[in-house]
Structure formats: structure tokens, C-alpha cells
Structure 1
Amino acid sequence: MQHLSIGPLYYEYSRHNEPRLTVQPGEIFSVDSEDAFSGQIRTDGDRRDKTKVPGSNPQTGPIVVVGAQPGDALAVTIHSIEPLIGQCATRTGDARNLAQWLGPDCPHGVHICPIREGQIFWSNETTIPYRPMLGCIGTAPAHGVPTTLPAGPHGGNMDIVEVAPGHTVVLPVFVPGGYLYLGDAHAAMGHGELSASGLEMPARSILSIELRKGNNLPSPRIETPEEIMTIVSGAPMEQSIAQAFAYLILWMEADFGVPRWRAYDLLTHVARISVGYFPIGTVGVKVPRKYLHAR
């Protein structure tokens, strides 16, 4: 199995970086990634120092997929995500989005949480189930170089909890090879990523990629054994929700034969929403597969 170590930390989804790994469609490979704090927080006494490392959410990559061309899609199946150092870190140093109600005096709140036997030890009294996911995964656009802070049609900092083991993230290809990047692994995260920090950890992810020719996707998708999901990012969130629903309806019509207005009616009753980091308006809308043949 090919393995990609952490190496250089990238804070952009760029087609200009030298590829670090080339994989064949269907090949299983592993990728190590640093945590969202760029490795600066390893003990309760550590603090994030942006004068030394100003960026957040460093990525490992780029990964080139043989045969990928603009207009194709990379269907990235996540087989597993495991912690590299047996712990994760979180912090609550910025409550600007809630300050008008809670006040501006939020403590820094760094603490380290051991991970063992499928549990995250958030405190001596409280454990959280280990439910890993990748906060960031994306391909390089053909124009511009987005940072690892927002999300967009290329993927990026989506922070959607369904980017998880056993699921497939489908990303548009904009440049030859795709130039896939990933990182920002979380041991667990609540919907909305309230404090802008999940339970951040350096991680090893085992992946494989199916190359889908000529898909011409407008935005990322997630496929699970139980559901399908479309993802859109942007403010106001109401617009992202509407757009994600429209993309899901068109997908149901094109691939599953559900007429769009029947899908529109059906989703009104059975759809669910997943929220990424809420200030940037990333949402996923999803429908159980059992409804995909409701003609």
C-alpha cells in the first residue's frame, strides 16, 4: 500500500504544488495529516501562535489520480481514520459569534483529550464516542487558489460530520489529475462546530478513489449505505440550503428517475439537514436511499 506522510503543510487548494502521490483508480492508500492547529497544541499549556504559523487547517497533498480530467469526479471512499498520537485537542478561545449573548470574556479553554477504546476522554467525568471525520477534503480549482478556511464547489473546509469512515465523498475535477488534498481530522464534532474547533487530531486515513468520467458535478456529494447528500457552502445559509435541495432534487431525477416535482414534494417530508461550521454557511441536505425509487 502506498503511504503519504505529512510532509509540507499546505493552506491552499492549489494546482501549482508538486504532486506528492500518484494513485490509480481503485487503489487503496494511506495519508497522514496534521491537526487544524498545525501541531502547536499538544499539552494543556500550549497556545496557538499565529505569528509563527498564521494558517489553520493544514492539508496533506496534492494527490494525483491517473486519468482524471476536468469534468470528471473523484469518488473518495474513506475506509478508516485513526489518531496518530492517541489524543485530540480542543480550544474555546474565540466566542465572537455568541458574544452578544454570552459576553466577550471567553477563556482560552485549551485541553487535551486522550483517545482509547473507542472513547474520547473529554474530562474525568465525561466521555464522547470516537466518531472520526475529515473537516477538510477538496480538489484544486482551475481558477484561483482558495484557502483552507472556506468551503466551495471544490470541497474544502466543509466540516460535515458525514465525511467519515464507510462513506464516499464525491468531488468535482477541475484540473488534470484532480489534485486532491485532505486534513483537519476530528475525533468527533457536533453539528455547526460551535467554537470553530472540533476535537482536532493528527490522523492516518485509509482511502480509495473511484474515477467517474464526465459527471460535471456542480458541488460535492456524499454517498453512504443509507443516504445520499449534496453540499453547498455560502452565506446566507438559507440560500445554501435552497441550492443544496435543488441539487439533490436534480440528482434524484437524473440518476434515480424520480421526477423533480415528486422529489420536491417527497423531500419536504423526509429530508434532513447536516450543518458544517455555521458562520460560513456550509450545509448538506440528505435523503434515505429507501425513497429513491418513489416515482
Structure 2
Amino acid sequence: MQRLPIGPLYYEYSRHNEPRLRIQPGETIVVESEDAFSGQIRTNADRRDKSIQPKGNPQTGPIWIEGAEPGDSLAVTIREIKPLIGQCSTRTSDPRQLAEWLGTECPHGTHVCAINDGQIHWSDKLTIPYRPMLGCIGTAPDWGVPTTIPAGVHGGNMDIIEVCPGNTIYLPVFVPGGYLYLGDAHAAMGHGELSASGLEMPAESTITVELRKGKKISGPRIESPTELMTVATGCPMERATAEAFAKLILWLEADYGWDRWRAYDLLTHVASISVGYYAIGTVATKIEKRYLVGNA
């Protein structure tokens, strides 16, 4: 099995970088990634120093998938996400939209937690279940070079908790080879990523990358054993929610034989949502697969 170690840290989803790994469709690989703080926080005494590294969410890649061409899509199944150094970290620093109610005198709040036995040790008295996910995964667009801060039709910084082991992430291919990047692993994260930091960790992710020839998609999709999800980003979040729902309806129409208006009606009653980083308005809309049996 090929392994891609941490190397140059990329803060953009760029087609201009030399591929660091070339794989065949269907290949399973291990990808190491640095944490969202670029490795600056390892102890509670450490501080995120933006004068040294102002950018966040470094990515490992790009990965070239043989045969991938514009108009195809990638199906990336996450097999496992393991902590590289047995710990994760988070911090408080800027309450942002909450300042209206909480004030602005927010301490830095560096907080490092050990990970073992399937638990994140928040304190001597409190543990959080280890539920890893990738905050960032995406392909390189053919126009422009998005950073690792927003999400978009290429994927990117979605911060959706369902980007996790056991699920498959579908991403559009815009350029030959696909140019897949990933990083920003979290040991756990709540909906909304309130402080703009999950429980960030350097990680090794085992993934299988398959190629869907001629399967053009309009943005990221996620499939779990029990659910289908579409993702959209934008502010106000109401618009992103509407876009994600529309994309889910069109997916049901194209691949599952649903009349779009019948699907619209059904989703009104059975759909749910998952919220990524609230400040950039990322939303995944979801339907359980058990509802797909009756497409009338």
C-alpha cells in the first residue's frame, strides 16, 4: 500500500503543484496530514503565531488519479483516520459573531487533549468520544485557485462531520489527474465548529479512491451506509441550504428515478441537515436511503 507522508504544506487547491503521488483508480492509500494549526500547537503553552504562518488548514497532496479527466468524478471512501501523535488540540481566540453577546475579551485558550482507548481526554473528569473526520478534502479547479478557508464546488474546507470513516465522498474532476488534496483532520467536532477550531490533529487517513468515468457532478456529495447527502456553502446560510436541497433533489431525479417535485415534497417531511463551519455557511442536506424505495 502506498503512503504519502507529510511534505510541503499546501494552503490552496492548485493544479499548478507537482503531483506527489500517482495512483490507479481503486487503489487504497495512506495519507499523512498536519493539523489545522500547521503544527504550531503541541502543548498548552504554545500559541498560534500567524506572524510565522498566517494561513491555516494545510493540505497533503496533490494526488494524481490515472485516467481522471474533466467531467469525471472521484469516489473517495474513508477507511480509517488515526492520530499521528496521540493527541489533538483546540483553542479559543476570537468569538467573531458571538462577540455581540459574549464580549471580545476572549482568552487564547490553548487546550491539548490526549487520545487513547477511543476517547479524547478533555480533562480528568470529562472525556469525548473519538469520532474522527476530515475538515478538508477537495480537487483542484480548472479556473482560479481557492484557498483552504472556504468550501465550494471543488470540496475544500467543508467541516462536515459526515466526512468520516465508513463514508464515501464524491468530488468533481476539473483537470486531468483530478489533483486530490486532503487535511484538517479532527478527532471530534460539533455541528457548526463554533470557535473555528475542531479538536485538530495530525493524522493518517486510509482512503480508497475510485474513478467514475463520465459521471459529472455539480459539487460534493457524501454517501454513508444509510444516507445520501449534498453539500453547499454560502452566506446567508439559508441560500446554501436551499442550494444543497436542490442538488439533492436533482441527484434523486437523475440516479434514482424520482420526479423532482415528488422528491421536493418527500424531503419536506423526512430530510435533515448537517452544519459545517457556521461562519461560512456550509450545509449538508440528507435523506435516509430507506426512503428511496418508493419513487412515486
Q: TM-score range by the shorter chain?
A: over 0.9
Aligned equivalents of 1:131, 1:292: Cα separation in 2:
28
How far the C-alpha of 1:175 sits from its partner, in A, is 0.2
What is aligned with 1:37?
A: 37
1:161 partner amino acid:
I
What is aligned with 1:149?
A: 149
Q: For 1:144-223, list aligned pairs within 5 A.
A: 144-223=144-223
Kept after mapping to 2: 8 A contact 1:257/1:293 = no
Report the 3-state secondary structure (helix = DSSP H, G, I; strand = E; otherwise coil) of the residue aligned with 2:18. Answer: coil
How far the C-alpha of 1:18 sits from its partner, in A, is 0.4
2:119 partner amino acid:
Q
Aligned equivalents of 1:75, 1:243: Cα separation in 2:
21
Provide TM-score, normalisation by structure 2.
0.99
What is aligned with 1:60?
A: 60
How far the C-alpha of 1:293 sits from its partner, in A, is 2.2
Report the 3-state secondary structure (helix = DSSP H, G, I; strand = E; otherwise coil) of the residue aligned with 2:263. Answer: helix
Q: For 1:1-295, list aligned pairs within 5 A.
A: 1-294=1-294, 295=296
Report the 3-state secondary structure (helix = DSSP H, G, I; strand = E; otherwise coil) of the residue aligned with 1:292. Answer: helix
Report the 3-state secondary structure (helix = DSSP H, G, I; strand = E; otherwise coil) of the residue aligned with 1:287. Answer: strand
2:238 partner amino acid:
E
How far the C-alpha of 1:259 sits from its partner, in A, is 1.1
1:86 partner amino acid:
G
Aligned equivalents of 2:75, 2:29: Cα separation in 1:
14
Aligned equivalents of 1:292, 1:219: Cα separation in 2:
21
Report the 3-state secondary structure (helix = DSSP H, G, I; strand = E; otherwise coil) of the residue aligned with 1:57. Answer: coil
Aligned equivalents of 1:176, 1:150: Cα separation in 2:
23
Unaligned runs of 5+ residues in structure 2 are none
How far the C-alpha of 1:216 sits from its partner, in A, is 1.5
1:256 partner amino acid:
Y
Kept after mapping to 2: 8 A contact 1:90/1:197 = yes
2:182 partner amino acid:
L
How far the C-alpha of 1:23 sits from its partner, in A, is 0.7
How far the C-alpha of 1:262 sits from its partner, in A, is 1.0
Aligned equivalents of 1:293, 1:70: Cα separation in 2:
32
1:157 partner amino acid:
N
Aligned equivalents of 1:250, 1:175: Cα separation in 2:
24
Aligned equivalents of 2:279, 2:71: Cα separation in 1:
30
How far the C-alpha of 1:74 sits from its partner, in A, is 0.4
How far the C-alpha of 1:214 sits from its partner, in A, is 1.4
Q: What per-residue deviation string (whole Å, max 9, x for no partner) do you get for residues 45-78 of structure 1?
A: 0000111111100000000000000010000000
Report the 3-state secondary structure (helix = DSSP H, G, I; strand = E; otherwise coil) of the residue aligned with 2:54. Answer: coil
Q: Percent identity?
A: 71
Aligned equivalents of 2:218, 2:95: Cα separation in 1:
33
**RMSD between aligned residues:** 0.6
Report the 3-state secondary structure (helix = DSSP H, G, I; strand = E; otherwise coil) of the residue aligned with 1:268. Answer: helix
How far the C-alpha of 1:103 sits from its partner, in A, is 0.8
Provide TM-score, normalisation by structure 1.
0.99
Kept after mapping to 2: 8 A contact 1:258/1:293 = no
Q: What per-residue deviation string (whole Å, max 9, x for no partner) do you get for residues 228-268 of structure 1?
A: 00000111111110111011011111111111111111101
